[in-house]
Amino acid sequence: MKFIKSLFKFVFGTILLIVVLVGVAFYFISSPKKTIDITWTKDDFNTYVNKGGITFDDSHASVEDIFANNLLTEGITNVNATFTNEEASAIANMSSNGNSIIKNVKIHCLGNDELEASAVIGDITPLINKFPALKKYESALKLIENKPIYAHSTLFFNKSTGLFDGVTKELYIGKVKIPTDKANDNLKYGGSAINKALKQLKGFSVKKFKVTSEGFKFDGTIPKKIESAGSLLN
């Protein structure tokens, strides 16, 4: 439960910063300031599956499942490949399930350990019902439901610590630009959640990782199959 709360602090910390501290009007978060021109297809998804050597079916785990360690793993496969923007976007969207609150994910690798990504926050009612402490923020949180988020950040793997790290360079919710110092303060929950999730993920290891203009270069191992262990929000 503590781990799930860390994830949700990450997702909503920046949101609350806007609606509670900044008090932006609905208009300004109703449409995106920045967009990413990435279009993926089922072929991109199939290519990702083939490169990764994974098994993917209806029981697959979502990103939220992985963050919350709400999963079952099976087998292990060696991977040494570059995953394109379209392939990364495809698996991010195809992994959505009943536990997902993030949708319409687009990923664009810029190179030199930098990338940009966009997504939309979906229906947050189940989340509010699951965590009553969020009830007092319901009106504010509802303002960002189905609204776009854009981030430009760095991402790299620190071999000495065995952890992923990075810094947010730009963050928008709709047309509102979030100060980077505030963004990084709130997003540290996300960094901790990601690293803890990957440390606990059986079969996952990293030899090399690099964000290039061609995509994510990954050399390591991943589980052959990752299944969801059930509903997180019911």
Distance CA 67, CA 194 (A): 6
Q: CB–CB of 176/28 below 8 Å?
A: yes
Q: What is the pLDDT of residue 140?
A: 64
Strand partners, 148: 120
Q: What is the pLDDT of residue 75?
A: 97
Q: What is the pLDDT of residue 4?
A: 46
Strand partners, 171: 151
Which residue's structure tokens are 């993920």? 201
DSSP state of 221: E
pTM for the model: 0.81
Give mean pLDDT in consecutive 10-residue pieces for the chain, a chain of 234 residues.
48 50 48 84 97 94 83 96 97 86 92 95 76 71 79 94 92 82 68 84 96 97 94 72
Tell me if residue 148 falls in helix, strand or coil: strand
Q: What is the pLDDT of residue 187?
A: 64
Q: What is the pLDDT of residue 189?
A: 62
List b or e across 81-120, with b for residues whose CB sees 16 or more CB atoms inside 10 angstroms. Answer: bebbbbbbbbbbbbbbbebbbbebbbbbbeeebbbbbbbb
Q: What is the pLDDT of residue 177?
A: 82
Tell me if residue 130 falls in helix, strand or coil: helix
